[in-house]
């Protein structure tokens, strides 16, 4: 299969009681993902959280763009149910659904058991997603889990990137219109390292890395 219209979607989930974490942060992970496939397909990032779009509005955007693949990220576990609702909407329009993030990485079979999820990216997604789009199939792509006739297939893990300087620059031009603000100040996101030296029990970072 050749995917030529890719929508990378940020769900409009709510984190009640944590106003700072409920802010719309620039989706740096999706910006990096986009940078790796813009030469292979038409790519759009829809940040429904930054634009404060409801399900109906997102549905209309999907109808207009007509993606054949929709990529969704689950940044926190509390967002999974909301993200799957967006996956359901996109799936109804015939799109292949690819989901990634730390929750899917740590709860692979639980996430992949959803009828709205076709392919799951485990761990870092830049090179995995590019290989998927380039091959047009999840078969033999390291770092992917997927389903064939209802059976889950788990390909070998992909090695973590050792040098962030090897990454392409993120596709920030795809999110310029959203004007991200934290505490009423303009903001953007950069990444200088991955992982964390701490080991907080409530955080997934030290488990993944």
pLDDT at 19: 55
Report pTM: 0.92
**CB-based contact 133:106 (threshold 8 Å):** no
Q: How do the pLDDT tens digits run along the chain, 209 residues long?
A: 899 999 999 999 876 555 555 678 899 999 999 999 999 999 999 999 989 999 999 999 999 999 999 999 998 888 899 999 999 999 999 999 999 999 999 999 999 999 999 999 999 999 999 999 999 999 999 999 999 998 999 999 999 998 999 999 999 999 988 888 887 888 889 998 898 888 888 888 878 87
What pLDDT, on the 0 to 100 scale, is given for residue 182?
81
DSSP class of residue 184 equals T
Neighbours of 1 (CB within 10 A): 10
Burial of 144 (0-12, 13-18, 19+ CB in 10 A): buried
CA distance 45 to 20: 23
Task: Give residue 15's pLDDT.
Answer: 65
CA distance 46 to 61: 8
> Which two tokens mark 177?
């219109």
Task: Please report, for the domain that includes residue 141, its CATH number.
Answer: 3.40.50.280
- What's the domain count of the chain? 1
Contact call for residues 149 and 164 (beta carbons, < 8 A): no
Closest Cα partner for 154 from 145, 163, 162?
145
Assess contact for 105 and 112: CB atoms under 8 A. no
End-to-end CA distance of the chain: 32
C-alpha span between 49 and 156 (Å, rounded): 33
- Work out the mean pLDDT of the chain and round it to a whole number: 91
pLDDT, position 187: 87
Task: Give the structural domain span for 136.
Answer: 5-208
What pLDDT is recorded for position 126?
97
What pLDDT, on the 0 to 100 scale, is given for residue 199?
83
pLDDT at position 172: 94
């Amino acid at each position: 299969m050749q995917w030529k219209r890719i929508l990378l979607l940020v769900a409009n989930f709510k984190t009640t009681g944590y106003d700072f974490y409920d802010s719309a942060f620039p989706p740096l992970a999706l910006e990096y993902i986009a940078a790796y496939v813009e030469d292979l397909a038409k790519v759009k990032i829809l940040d429904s959280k930054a634009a404060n779009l409801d399900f109906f509005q997102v549905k209309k955007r999907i109808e207009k763009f007509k993606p054949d693949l929709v990529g969704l990220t689950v940044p926190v576990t509390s967002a999974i149910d909301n993200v799957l609702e967006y996956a359901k909407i996109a799936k109804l329009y015939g799109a292949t659904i690819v989901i990634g993030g730390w929750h899917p990485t740590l709860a692979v079979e639980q996430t992949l058991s959803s009828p709205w999820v076709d392919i799951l990216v485990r761990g870092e997604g830049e090179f995995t997603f590019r290989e998927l789009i380039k091959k047009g199939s999840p078969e033999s792509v390291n770092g992917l889990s997927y389903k064939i006739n209802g059976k889950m297939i788990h390909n070998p893990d992909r090695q973590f990137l050792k040098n962030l300087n090897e990454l392409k620059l993120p596709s920030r031009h795809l999110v310029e219109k959203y004007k991200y603000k934290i505490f009423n100040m303009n903001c953007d996101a950069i990444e200088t390292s991955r992982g964390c030296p701490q080991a907080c029990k409530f955080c997934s970072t030290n488990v993944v890395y």
